[in-house]
Structure 1
Amino acid sequence: MVPVLGRYAGLLTVALLGLVVFGPLAVFLPLWSALTLGAAAAAGSGLALSRIAALKARCEKLSGEVDLLSRRLLKVETGAAQPRPETGEPALRAQIEELTVEFGLLSGIVRDLTNVVSTQDAEIAGLKARPEPAPAPPAAIPALVAAAPVAAPVPTAAAPLSDWTQAAPPPRSPLPPAAAAVPPRPIPPQPVSVRPIPPPRPAQDPEREADIIRAFEGDGLEIHLQPVVSLPQRKVVAYEALARLRIEGRDPAAAAEPDAFLPVLERQGRTTELDRRMLQRAAVVVRHLARRGSDTLLTYGLSPLSLFEPSLLRDLGRMVVEDPALAGLVIALPQASWRSLDAGQRGLLAPMRGRIGFSLDRPDDLRFDPLELAALGIGQVKVPAEMLLRPEEASRSLSDIAVEDTAAALARAGIRLVATGISDEADIPDLIDLDVAFAQGAAFAAPRPVRAEVLTALPPEAPPPPTEPGPERRSFRSVLRRAV
């Protein structure tokens, strides 16, 4: 109450004086009273207008200051959003590496398109050079049709996997010279130009890369096997197929590991070709194990880039459907690839479930969902021993499940845990304490090449050719669609 009265004390005083002074004047001198009230009202109006003008000037001044502050704040925020000089260079380097990979994949597409066009040109030239047959009498035409031979496709280096594993029977009669000059060839699969998963390292030594490509295109690629044993019995229960490359100029007794040549093949867009050749040899080894009556599995780690090549997955699915002996083959993919599968890739992998096995390897962390992995058809998880024995060194790899319970949680979902990279015998008892039932590493056996007589085994008997085969015709639009 007191602050209110103190604020309006002047007005109350003037009002009381006006009531005391002008009250009697209004009774005795009404005219003078009216004039006095009018003058007082004019004075009050003038004071109010002056106060309003002062307040308006202050508001405009405050508005200008707020506008100035807002412009300064916007300038500060814009400057803070700009990348710092020290962070711009790594980002630019990463973009350059990604562009390098894109150019490598595009060069692979152009190379394959060139092969397709040259093959079609050769076939067209052969058809044009073929002499026209002499007209035969009407009665002899049915006999010529019945005696026409069936041309067998010639498998090439880029043929589908089913053509690699099954050889076509020889023709029943020799071909005419003009027709035998240009044998029909299947169109090689085209790589898909997509952004790779991890960008490879930039080129360092062009001469060394040329040696690697020369060895890869020649006979330098080999398949080595490293056993997977059970603990504590150390009985061999599976093998892992590993790619090795013998490069000219190096020690002939040693072969280069994937870390030495895989980045070069990724830059050149040749990883899919590597997987095709390795899968061909892995299939031969699996059939050899099946003929011996062994239930030993063979695992091969597929490159993440091959997931973006639909023809490879389709050929692999067709091969496992046509050959039940490949039930011992297990396809391994990195944890990041399993997590990023799209609908198309899931649809291509679904027909293989139950016919071959799937495995998860190269994990980034230990956050495994056993039910989700089982729903994908994964029956094996391979984890480096360092992540199991020393998880505190990589805290980001820890999961909600304790390390001691990881093997049991996976086993309840029908998934077996394999510890890899074991080179020290002292780590084996610790792994047994963690209930790890399977292990792999140099402590048990080093990777060794497959015997030559196994790889040169005869392929399985091919089915009889169709009675009336027709030439396979592909439009150039379909070739471009497969390339894109």
Structure 2
Amino acid sequence: MVPVLGRYAGLLTVGLLGLVVFGPLAVFLPLWSALTLGVLAAGVAGLALTRIAVLKARCEKLSGEVDLLSRRLLKVETGAATAAAQPQPEAAEAALRAQIEELTVEFGLLSGIVRDLTGVVTAQDAEIARLNARPVAAPDLRSEIRAEIRAELAAPAPEPILSSRPQAAAPEAPPVVATRPVLPASPTMRPIPPLPLPPRPIPPRPAREPEEEAEIIRAFEGEGLEIHLQPVVTLPQRKVVAYEALARLRVGGVSTEPETFLPVLERHGRTTELDRRMLQRAAIVTRHLARRGSETMLTYGLSPLSLFEPGLMRELARMAADDPALAGLVIGLPQASWRGLDAGQRSLLAPLRGRIGFSLDRPDDLRFDAAELAALGIGQVKVPAEMLLRPASERDRLADIAVEDTAPALARAGIRLVATEIGDEADVPDLIDLDVPFAQGSAFATPRPVRAEVLATPSDAPVPPPEPEPERRSFRSVLRRAV
């Protein structure tokens, strides 16, 4: 009510004054009152017309501004539609990056193929050299020199070069082991002292028999491949915290080590298939450990040739992405492979980082850069105990830090050191003095095969509930129950 009165207060005031003033005048002076009312009505009409004109001008101005704003809005919408239709620089950059990564992977694959071809050609050359290597008796240099001199003296004069008759081919000289100086064609010459013969080279080790290689291949293609586990324990408690998956091949009923069958598989290009089958079984064992509620990790050392097989690494990345239980799986690569990673191999290992673990094994020296290893995602370094306890004296194999500082330096970067190949119990105290936290070897336990029922368990089986821990009772309650 107050806003209405405040808005029309002037009109109400004028109306009340007109009623008070013109009411008596209309009674006593009707003519003057009518004239006054007409003048007032004309004035009010003029004011109304003026206000209407002002409002009309304002409306036209507002209409022009609205028209201008609508045209600007239409222009902005047209520009936005055009910009949306054009490719965004971020999308173009992402597409270009994806193409570059794909080309990088292809280049890595091609480089791997070239390296494989080089290895195959080198192996073939070595095989040819082994086949051609035969012990040859050294000929008598004196009799050979005398025979050559007699042949040169008895030979007829050479025919002219322009002769149309074909020249007879000279007989090939027998192979000469030792080198000798060039002799002059003169019949008078001094006797040549006997030249020392070079030492006879040691013949290379003969290659494996084809029948034995065929038997190894048949065992590999059949059911001869086995997975063995060797525990990794803590020092000095000797608590099992991890396992290493080791490949064994049963040939003729005898379990053979990788040193026996791995060169044959490499020669026949079957190492990638070996790693694929071993990774499948290692994944089954890892899932079995996860179902039991164990936090024990499982390590498997890949062959360096598997880095040049993108299909295997992509398959492993898909397995790790689909199954979170594979977080307990750790793949190991030699130190030389970690140092020689190219852009394609790094892109293949990038999807695996954070889903499975990485390990450095089979080292060539103790030059470990903890920061660089941590940047690569390596969480474990396995070193033979022989290198830690009795380091080599060669300059290129010495580390930048002392051997006793190796384990603490790696631990500060979040990398654990594992001493392997421990066969003597007397080496354990020395490793404890070096602050080595983990150890592995026959001194603690030998590799044992995985039970068949574990490998036969389906991977998609439901996870059973964890077994309840036994209730701990005090000794007093036990005595009370006994009484």
How high is the sequence identity, in percent, across the aligned residues?
A: 75
Q: CA deviation at 1:205?
A: 2.3
- The count of corresponding residues between Structure 1 and Structure 2 is 270
> In 1, are the aligned partners of 2:248 and 2:255 still within 8 Å (CA)?
no
Q: CA deviation at 1:335?
A: 0.3
> In 2, are the aligned partners of 1:358 and 1:379 still within 8 Å (CA)?
yes
Name the structure 2 match of 1:221. 225
* Cα distance in structure 2, aligned partners of 1:242 and 1:194: 29
2:115 to 176, 180, 195: 195
Name the structure 2 match of 1:324. 324
Matched, 1:233 2:237: yes
CA deviations over 1:217-254 (Å, ceiling 9, x no partner): 01000000000000000000000000000112xxx353
Superposed, 1:179-328 pairs within 5 Å as 193-196=113-116, 204-207=207-210, 208-248=212-252, 252=253, 254-255=255-256, 257-328=257-328
Task: Give the direction of change, closer, same or farther, for the CA distance of 1:198–1:241 in structure 2 (3 Å limit).
Answer: farther
Name the structure 2 match of 1:426. 426
Superposed, 1:84-483 pairs within 5 Å as 193-196=113-116, 204-207=207-210, 208-248=212-252, 252=253, 254-255=255-256, 257-460=257-460
* Cα distance in structure 2, aligned partners of 1:433 and 1:197: 47
Name the structure 2 match of 1:143. none
> In 1, are the aligned partners of 2:359 and 2:378 still within 8 Å (CA)?
yes
* Cα distance in structure 1, aligned partners of 2:110 and 2:277: 15
Task: Give the direction of change, closer, same or farther, for the CA distance of 1:233–1:327 in structure 2 (3 Å limit).
Answer: same
Q: Which moved more, 1:385-394 or 1:281-290?
A: 385-394
- Structure-2-length-normalised TM-score: 0.54
* Cα distance in structure 2, aligned partners of 1:296 and 1:198: 40
Task: Give the direction of change, closer, same or farther, for the CA distance of 1:374–1:353 in structure 2 (3 Å limit).
Answer: same
> In 2, are the aligned partners of 1:194 and 1:308 still within 8 Å (CA)?
no
Superposed, 1:20-99 pairs within 5 Å as none
Task: Give the direction of change, closer, same or farther, for the CA distance of 1:194–1:271 in structure 2 (3 Å limit).
Answer: farther
Gaps of 5+ in 1: 1-188, 463-484
> In 2, are the aligned partners of 1:223 and 1:243 still within 8 Å (CA)?
yes
Q: CA deviation at 1:440?
A: 0.4
Q: Does the residue aligned with 1:194 lie in a helix, a strand or coil?
A: helix
> In 1, are the aligned partners of 2:422 and 2:439 still within 8 Å (CA)?
yes
Task: Give the direction of change, closer, same or farther, for the CA distance of 1:299–1:191 in structure 2 (3 Å limit).
Answer: farther
Amino acid at match of 1:404: E
Amino acid at match of 1:428: V
Q: Does the residue aligned with 2:255 lie in a helix, a strand or coil?
A: coil
Q: CA deviation at 1:351?
A: 1.2
> In 2, are the aligned partners of 1:297 and 1:329 still within 8 Å (CA)?
yes
Q: Does the residue aligned with 1:246 lie in a helix, a strand or coil?
A: strand
> In 2, are the aligned partners of 1:387 and 1:394 still within 8 Å (CA)?
no
CA deviations over 1:113-155 (Å, ceiling 9, x no partner): xxxxxxxxxxxxxxxxxxxxxxxxxxxxxxxxxxxxxxxxxxx
> In 1, are the aligned partners of 2:287 and 2:459 still within 8 Å (CA)?
no
* Cα distance in structure 2, aligned partners of 1:446 and 1:393: 30
Amino acid at match of 1:401: I
Amino acid at match of 1:213: I
Task: Give the direction of change, closer, same or farther, for the CA distance of 1:325–1:365 in structure 2 (3 Å limit).
Answer: same
Task: Give the direction of change, closer, same or farther, for the CA distance of 1:198–1:417 in structure 2 (3 Å limit).
Answer: farther
Query: Greater Rg, structure 1 or structure 2?
Result: 2
> In 2, are the aligned partners of 1:320 and 1:356 still within 8 Å (CA)?
yes
Q: Does the residue aligned with 2:114 lie in a helix, a strand or coil?
A: coil
Q: CA deviation at 1:354?
A: 1.1
Bigger relative contact order, structure 1 or 2 (CA pairs below 8 A, ≥6 apart): 1
Q: Does the residue aligned with 1:319 lie in a helix, a strand or coil?
A: helix
> In 1, are the aligned partners of 2:385 and 2:421 still within 8 Å (CA)?
yes
* Cα distance in structure 2, aligned partners of 1:416 and 1:423: 21
Q: CA deviation at 1:396?
A: 3.0
Task: Give the direction of change, closer, same or farther, for the CA distance of 1:259–1:197 in structure 2 (3 Å limit).
Answer: farther
> In 2, are the aligned partners of 1:317 and 1:351 still within 8 Å (CA)?
yes
Q: CA deviation at 1:352?
A: 1.1
> In 1, are the aligned partners of 2:334 and 2:363 still within 8 Å (CA)?
yes
Amino acid at match of 2:214: A
Q: CA deviation at 1:397?
A: 1.9
Q: Which moved more, 1:215-224 or 1:197-206?
A: 197-206
Name the structure 2 match of 1:31. none
> In 1, are the aligned partners of 2:384 and 2:420 still within 8 Å (CA)?
yes
Name the structure 1 match of 2:181. none
Amino acid at match of 1:459: S
* Cα distance in structure 2, aligned partners of 1:301 and 1:326: 16
Amino acid at match of 1:205: R
Gaps of 5+ in 2: 1-108, 128-206, 463-483
> In 2, are the aligned partners of 1:226 and 1:446 still within 8 Å (CA)?
yes
Q: CA deviation at 1:194?
A: 3.3
